[in-house]
Each structure stands twice: as C-alpha cells, then as structure tokens.
Amino acid sequence: MWLNWFIRSIVFCTTAIVLAGCASQVAQHDVRVFDEAALLRQCQPANGTTPTRCDFAPALIGDARHYRVEMTIKPGSTPWVYAESRRLMHSSAIAIEQQSLSFLVNTRQPDGQPLQQDTYQGSPGLTLWLPSELQEIQQIAITATTPDKRLFILGDSTVCDQNPQWDKPAIARYSGWGQVLPAYLSQQISVVNYADSGEGTQAFNIEDGELFAPIAAQLRDQDIVLIQLGHNDKTTSAAVYEQRLSDLLVFIKARGALPILVSPMIRNHGINLAQQHQWPQLDVRRSLQKVSQLQDIPLIDLMAISDAWVTELGQTAAQQYFVPKDRTHSNEAGAHIFASMLVEDITRRHLPLAEYVISR
C-alpha cells in the first residue's frame, strides 16, 4: 500500500530553500523544508540511549493539530522514526524499504497522556525522535495540515502514548498498542490517541467524561474510532458499563463517524479466557459482545486473540512481551504484538480501517 513519495521544495522568507530560523509566520499548508545542515542546527544529538531529538516550533512550521512529515533518507538506511511521546511513526521492520517516507502526526499539549500528572509534556509544535545517526536523513519537509481521515483511540494504559522512557531498555518501557499503531498505517490517516492510564468508561461518558469533551469537539464525518475500555471498570456494574458504551456509540454514529469496539487484551496471569476481566458486577467480554450486537458495531475480540496467543506460546515465554514483573502492561515488543493482532483482524474482516493498513 505504500506509495513513492517525493519531498516538495518551496522558498521561504528569502530565495534560499532551507532556513533554520525564519521569523515570519508560516501559512497553513505551506511546506517547510530542512536539509542536512539545517537539521544539524535544529536537532539535539543522540545521547546514550536517547535518539536524536528535533523540535520544530510553531514559529517555524505553523501552529496546527496535525503535521505532514515527509523525509528523504539515504539509500540503505532503515530508520525507526518516533514523534511526540515516543509514538512510532515509521519502522523499517513493518514498511517496505524506500528512500522517502511520509506520515501524519497529531500534536497536542501535553504530548503524552492527556490527564496524568507525570505525563510527558513535550514542546509546542512538533517533536521528532530520529535515528542516532542523523546522517541517514537527507531532508525533512513539514506541512501544517488538516487531514482528510483521522483515527481516534479511546482506552487505558495498555493503549496510551506512554512516556518516552529512553533511559530504560526497550523491554522495560511501558508501551501502549496505540503508541505503535501509526507505524502500521498509511500516510493518509492521522492517529489521535486519547487513551489515558487508569481510565474506564467514566472518563469517556458523554454526560461529563473529562476525555469525552475534547474528542467530541473534534469528531467529524467518516472519522474512525477504536474503543478499548474495561481494564479499569472494576467497580462499574454491567448495566452502567453497557449504557455508557451504548451512549458513546450512538453519539459517534450520529456524527457520521465509524466506531469499532475492542475487548482488552488478557492479563498474563495464567488464567483461562472465561475468567479474564471478570469484575464483581461486570463480565467485560460478555458485555462488549452484547453492546456490539445491539448497536451493530464491529468488535475486535483482542481478549480472545491474545488468549490464543498466550496459550500457544506459554505464559513464561509470553512474559517477555510484558514489562518485567508486570502481567498487564506490554513493553515495546508486546505493543507490537497486540497492534499486529488488531491490524490482522481489521484486514481479515475488511473493517473500516483496513484500507489504511500498510502492506509489505
């Protein structure tokens, strides 16, 4: 599905193509190009396990919710590119090798989880985390834009954009599946991840949910919405859980958007599927199946898919995909496992997001 993209050139402020510090305002949809020399001035070099960090302020690239990033890389380079709070935008392990990359980045303040006090705050504008060898990149073009298609993600700590945690090895970095999902999708869609640690259906309640408000303000026709809630509804009754989800789905459909329910992945406790996510007043999987049928909304049964995966792999081997001493939260490798499960089910069933899944 990947296409060949070409970096556009445009003149800003003077006759030079690339400037590192133009003070004039950048108009919406103008392209701002940074060549190798400009990137060396713009970026902080890699330090230990922390990749090269490039901060592009709104004064340089415009003030927008979404930016299109187009990168020209040198032949033979296989970069992994992150944005904002370690959100994976491109992986050479997922996409076919190519000399030019293009992707859409959603930005907000804070860059990380929307409600957590210890969230990664980031910087205004756009942050890219690039390979430690910046010389792999020939140039980067950034455009403030309004994407035609957006994917909203509603969920919890197993889904969210966790903090960068560059000081930790990848096996110990908390990583939500929504944090790596952009790398599996094409340049035509922008991922807007409002998942937040510790949150359940209450936070996305259409009446007074703190995280529902910013989503409702942005949601429009033909947006796609992935919803994984249930990990943190331990004290929620089945009736309330189902009503909150149903109300949310009705609202999303009324906006012309396309919701998809996702059951939470298993916890690696070695218990069978029938006992996973069973709370005193709530059987999460059963309630999700009920709401899915009543609302005629597709359900990706990630709980069942991940249970089959652990059953085949074994609990001990599966633990390498979770943060050490944690049976719930995936590390980077685990986030890829769960994201790939989602992508495979979406593609197999031809769900609304399928046309944006990249193929090798």
How far apart CA 168 and CA 34 sit, in angstroms, is: 30
- The domain segmentation of the chain, as residue ranges, is 1-146, 147-360
pLDDT at site 360: 56
Residue 225 has which token pair?
Answer: 């919405």
* 255 three-class SS: coil
The CA distances from residue 245 to 99, 204, 317, 332, in Å, are 43, 9, 34, 29
What is the residue-level pLDDT of the chain in tens, covering all 360 positions?
332 322 232 222 322 233 333 323 334 468 999 999 999 989 999 998 999 999 999 999 999 999 999 999 988 787 899 999 999 999 988 987 678 899 999 999 899 999 998 899 999 999 999 977 788 899 999 999 999 999 999 999 999 999 999 999 999 999 999 999 999 999 999 999 999 999 999 999 999 999 999 999 999 999 999 999 999 999 999 999 999 999 999 999 999 999 999 999 999 999 999 999 999 999 999 999 999 999 999 999 999 999 999 999 999 999 999 999 999 999 999 999 999 999 999 999 999 999 999 975
pLDDT at site 14: 27
CATH architecture classification, 1-146: Sandwich (2.60)
The CA distances from residue 109 to 102, 120, 122, 221, in Å, are 23, 9, 7, 25
pLDDT at site 91: 92
Residue 345 has which token pair?
Answer: 């089910």
Rg of the chain, C-alpha, whole Å: 20
Domain 147-360, classified CATH 3.40.50.1110, yes or no: yes
Burial class (CB in 10 A: 0-12, 13-18, 19+), 185: buried
Helices (H), the chain: 36-42, 58-61, 177-180, 212-218, 238-254, 284-295, 302-313, 315-318, 332-349
Which of 138, 145, 142, 144 is CA-nearest to residue 33?
Answer: 142
- Say if residues 347 and 300 touch (Cβ distance below 8 Å): no
Paired strand residues for 72 = 100, 139
How far apart CA 45 and CA 62 sit, in angstroms, is: 24
How far apart CA 198 and CA 225 sit, in angstroms, is: 20
How far apart CA 116 and CA 13 sit, in angstroms, is: 40
H-run or E-run covering 139: strand 137-145
Predicted TM-score (pTM) of this structure = 0.90
